[in-house]
Amino acid sequence: MKSSLPKVMHEIAGLPMISHVTKLAESLNPDTVTVVVAPSMDDVASTVSPHSTAVQKTPQGTADAVKAGLQNTRTEEGSLLVLYGDGPLYTKETLQAFVSDYEENNGCGLSFLAMKPENPFGYGRMITDENDHVIRIVEQKEANAEEQSINLCWTGVMCGDIAKIRNWIEKIDNNNSKGEYYLTDLPKIARETDSDKTCYSLCAEEESLGANTRGELAKLEAKMQKRLREKAMENGATLIDPDSVTFSEDTVLGQDVIVEPNVIFGPGVRVGDKCRIRGFSYLEDVILEKGCVIGPFARLRPGTHLEDGVKVGNFVEVKGSHMGKGAKANHLAYIGNAEIGAGSNIGAGTITCNYDGFDKHKTTIGEGVFVGSNSTLVAPLTLSDGAYVAAGSVITKNVPEDTLAVARARPIMRDGWAKSYRERKSKKD
């Protein structure tokens, strides 16, 4: 990746790859989830918390990684499912079916999740017997021409009896070109040690994809976005130009939501029914209730909550604020750390001055308040219900209920000044 970040910490749809995998594991209701990390991966350990981590002191292959994980697990009965930290595209349905197939296949001590890619180059080939049981798995570099022609390939995911795997792992040696311990040796050992059948189940190639380069990371992102867009539309949202919309893994859209082109949903966005998100808007960690209209070119920042029918228009930024039913800020405004009551109108060019250089302060605007264009509201400040702020005002004191506030310099009128000024300038020319 050419990155200071561990590979699994790179994000897909706003979530680190490793978090996609742990969430997927959680969905299967396991007794425990253990993540194997290198000694320097404190950020990974923090990200996967509260799940436990096991440290692989030196990278000595996939079998060594599983061995490290088993040392952190006291369970002696049941099944062990092995997943890869850079495999964010597997679905719950696929893994559930895989585990069920294994558990229902009597006499199968070990099962591998396999695929049949169009181009098998680079993948470990799965060699099977006349009963379609896995005899061995051959890496690309060690496969002969006949074996390389096989398109049954291992994804890296496997499931087996945890007690037996503990025993088999100990029998794996590092007699290979890299001097590492590989899980691909397990089929042979399982058959020789316990005469166990080694089985496999198939999944779509797309689900097995990982990432070792930025280009591969981009491909994973594209496939995840396609999946999220399809899910949104299946659940009743309209995406006018789906390919231009970017989702986060946890984005929730209600029914009859309309999303115009070039909208970005950052993490933590929930959009209620019948909202419309106009083009080029950016939303992150916000809640929109029913019937809101956002944008175009709006930015909704973390901590924003908009109630039914709120309108946030073009070039309006809202951060850490709550807007009541029917409130609106239609043009060119900044609303930060504010509480705005139902039916209030925030005029074009209005800003809440919430930061004094050291601390953030709150602006409280009651119900039915009108704030005229180009107004500056200096927090901490309260505009009570029904208050009216004249355009161009700088408000530094609380405004009582139903009161007009005018805070601007009186205009100075000088008759004939403009004409004389133009004449003076013309003579110089």
Angle between helical axes of 92-104 and 17-27 (0-180°, round to 10): 50
Cα–Cα separations (whole angstroms), residue 59 to 123, 296, 352: 20, 50, 54
Diameter over CA atoms, the chain: 108
Nearest C-alpha neighbor of 129 from the set 189, 58, 187, 61: 187
Side-chain-side CA neighbours of residue 349 (13 Å): 9
Query: Which residues pair with residue 311 across a beta bridge?
Result: 293, 328
What is the separation of C-alpha 176 from the centre of its chain, rounded to a whole number of angstroms? 39
Radius of gyration of the chain from its Cα atoms, rounded to whole angstroms: 31
User: What pairing do the DSSP bridges indicate for beta strands 79-82 and 328-331?
Assistant: unpaired
Structure tokens at 386: 């029904």
Contact status, residue 202 vs residue 94, Cβ threshold 8 Å: no
What is the residue type of 252? Answer: V
Please give the backbone phi and psi of residue 44, each rounded to the nearest 5 degrees, phi first: -65, -45
Residue 331 is among the residues annotated as catalytic for this protein: yes
Nearest C-alpha neighbor of 320 from the set 278, 282, 356, 362: 362
Other beta carbons within 10 Å of 372: 19
Distance of alpha carbon 64 from alpha carbon 302, whole angstroms: 42
Contact status, residue 71 vs residue 170, Cβ threshold 8 Å: no
Residues, the chain = 429
Structure tokens at 415: 């008759």
| Choice among 51, 133, 331, 361 that is catalytic | 331
Q: Which residues carry out catalysis?
A: 331
